[in-house]
Amino acid sequence: MPGRRKFAQVLMTARDRVISDTLTIILCQSGYETIAAGSIKEALNEFSKHPIRCAFLEALLPYGDGSDIRDGIGLAAYIRDFHPHCEVVITGGDRVAIAELLGRPAGRGDRFRTLFYPIHREDLLSVMEQVVGIRKVS
């Protein structure tokens, strides 16, 4: 996007590629440099290639690579350990399941921001402004 300032490297994950692509488009149109990933394996690959400042991780993201990281909550804990400057937002539709996942050992009781489906444009941009501390392009 020539002429638009890119503010932050953002990773958007979701099991449903339509969701991750749609949310990625919203963030890109608002000036945030964003990458979509559909699995833990893809997300870890993006972390190895890019400095990610903020990661939206679907709680029930599939692992698909045989690693010890079994879902988005486990990936969030990994990110907190190995990429401490990356802000993590847990996404998903089932509030009860996410609360249970956050309470188990892999979640370690970490307090992550949450954003539940359906994610509306203004809610997404509001969270970005809070976690990254930069206002979107008008």
Domain residue limits, the chain: 9-132
Superfamily of domain 9-132: Response regulator (3.40.50.2300)
* Average pLDDT along the chain: 83
Per-residue CA distances from 40 to 11, 55, 78, 115 (Å): 11, 12, 11, 19
- Residue type (1 letter), 77: A
CB 73 within 8 A of CB 59: yes
pLDDT digits (tens, 9 = 90+) for 44-63: 999 989 889 999 999 988 76
pTM of structure? 0.84
Tokens, residue 119:
């994610």
pLDDT digits (tens, 9 = 90+) for 69-102: 778 888 998 998 999 989 999 999 888 888 887 7
- Cα–Cα nearest to 86, from 23, 22, 13, 14: 13
